[in-house]
């Protein structure tokens, strides 16, 4: 049994949340409800009080016996669900605003948050809303895409509250976020490496680090002790994650061999440079010093996985294969050559997935097992599926 806290925003779709709550109660979970003042204009608190057999809160005065009820509810909740999530409340969450009872709960939370938006299609596609949703996902909050369909305004568009079965499936998958990785140490590498050419230029790649950060966040949410070794990114390190910044492949190798001590799992999501300049120029290279051609001699970088220490505690090593062609063939070869327990085959040829994108589509390959195909979805969801496989293997 888990404690589910539903935070209800004002919107015509609010009546549909009744069935979502009923489903969680049927599954044996405890449910409490917080409503914004606007939500009470669409449906009465009595409806949810009757459904949950619990008091419904809307403001700080609703519970005079507990002056910090917003913190108490945040501490009570194992899962927080914001539904229907309005553009306004999403903006508050993304920017850390706590100007009412509901938003202060989100600021005080320590549990996973699931956001189910519902709004006009123009509001959903607004640049500000897109930016705010991206920020939530970068912060490790799960956001379900709204549906296309007939809106309250009388025309069709994307912004409709998702179907109840889809929402229930979305929330039921949260069962996998139980503390099933507690007492395990997981080392995750993320981002791209940089090999300096001179003081201002480097050899690098387009990795944003989003996939590795999503894995680190998911592992921490599930109770693991997480060490994140990260190349340069613009991302915020997830809470409860210990991070170390690196730039070059040799930096990565050194940090990894220190971090892997007594580790249970290593997940190599970083995109590393295969080569580095033989020498780094001490000063910026000037084009006038060359006759139109600049030749830089490169040498091969060490194979990080091959040179990684493998302590007796190590139960699983997961690699990534970022390819633009013959994806599964290249990934299968790498799986065997590097003695990996699993490889995540990642098509980075384009199509809005892979490097820099919020979404991904991957195939999980393991020795002597059927492949697992994960179709295009947000990287947080991909991270969850990867760790589901990891958890199943290391707990045998």
Catalytic residue IDs: 205
Taking Cα atoms as reference points, which of 37, 56, 36, 58 lies closest to residue 46? 56
Residue 302, annotated ligand binder? Answer: yes
Find out whether 220 and 239 touch, Cβ atoms under 8 Å: yes
Beta bridge partners of 142: 114
Find out whether 276 and 288 touch, Cβ atoms under 8 Å: no
Beta bridge partners of 156: 150
Task: Give the C-alpha separation, 391 to 212, whole Å.
Answer: 17
Task: Give the C-alpha separation, 94 to 359, whole Å.
Answer: 19
Residue 284, annotated ligand binder? Answer: yes
Residue 304, annotated ligand binder? Answer: yes
* Span between the terminal Cα atoms of the chain, in Å: 24
Residue 334, annotated ligand binder? Answer: yes
Residue 338, annotated ligand binder? Answer: yes
Q: For strands 316-323 and 265-268, give the pairing.
A: parallel
Taking Cα atoms as reference points, which of 43, 22, 23, 31 lies closest to residue 2? 31
Identify the residue whose tokens are 């633009």. 324
Find out whether 187 and 253 touch, Cβ atoms under 8 Å: no
Residue 305, annotated ligand binder? Answer: yes
Find out whether 84 and 117 touch, Cβ atoms under 8 Å: yes
Identify the residue whose tokens are 């179907």. 163
Binding residue positions: 274, 284, 302-305, 320, 334, 338
Binding residue positions for CTP: 274, 284, 302-305, 320, 334, 338
């Amino acid at each position: 049994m888990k404690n589910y806290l539903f935070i209800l925003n004002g919107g015509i779709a609010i009546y549909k949340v009744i069935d979502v709550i009923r489903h969680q109660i049927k599954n044996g979970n405890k449910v409490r409800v917080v409503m914004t003042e606007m939500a009470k204009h669409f449906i009465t608190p009595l409806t949810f009080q009757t459904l949950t057999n619990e008091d419904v809160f809307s403001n700080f005065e609703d519970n005079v016996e507990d002056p910090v009820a917003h913190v108490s509810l945040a501490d009570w909740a194992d899962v927080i669900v914001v539904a229907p999530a309005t553009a306004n409340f999403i903006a508050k969450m993304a920017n850390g605003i706590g100007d009412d009872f509901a938003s202060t709960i989100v600021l005080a939370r320590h549990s996973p948050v699931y956001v189910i938006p519902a709004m006009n299609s123009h509001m959903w596609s607004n640049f500000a809303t897109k930016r705010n949703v991206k920020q939530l996902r970068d912060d490790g909050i799960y956001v379900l895409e709204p549906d296309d369909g007939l809106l309250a305004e009388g025309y069709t568009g994307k912004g409709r509250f998702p179907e109840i079965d889809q929402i229930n499936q979305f929330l039921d998958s949260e069962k996998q976020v139980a503390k099933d990785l507690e007492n395990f140490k997981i080392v995750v590498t993320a981002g791209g490496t940089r090999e300096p050419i001179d003081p201002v230029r480097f050899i690098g790649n387009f990795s944003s680090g989003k996939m590795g950060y999503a894995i680190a966040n998911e592992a921490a949410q599930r109770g693991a002790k997480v060490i994140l070794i990260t190349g340069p990114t613009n991302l915020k390190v997830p809470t409860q994650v210990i991070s170390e910044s690196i730039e070059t492949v040799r930096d990565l190798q050194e940090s990894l061999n220190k971090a892997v001590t007594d580790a249970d799992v290593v997940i190599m999501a970083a995109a590393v440079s295969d080569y580095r300049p033989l020498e780094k120029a001490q000063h910026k290279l000037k084009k006038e010093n060359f006759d139109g051609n600049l030749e830089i001699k490169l040498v091969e970088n060490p194979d990080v996985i091959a040179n990684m220490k493998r302590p007796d505690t190590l139960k699983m090593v997961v690699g990534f294969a970022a390819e633009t062609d013959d994806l599964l063939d290249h990934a299968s070869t790498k799986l065997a050559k590097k003695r990996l327990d699993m490889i995540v085959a990642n098509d980075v040829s384009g199509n809005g997935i892979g490097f820099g994108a919020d979404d991904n589509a991957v195939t999980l390959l393991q020795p002597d097992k059927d492949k697992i195909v994960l179709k295009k979805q947000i990287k947080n969801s991909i991270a969850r599926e990867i760790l589901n496989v990891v958890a199943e293997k290391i707990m045998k």
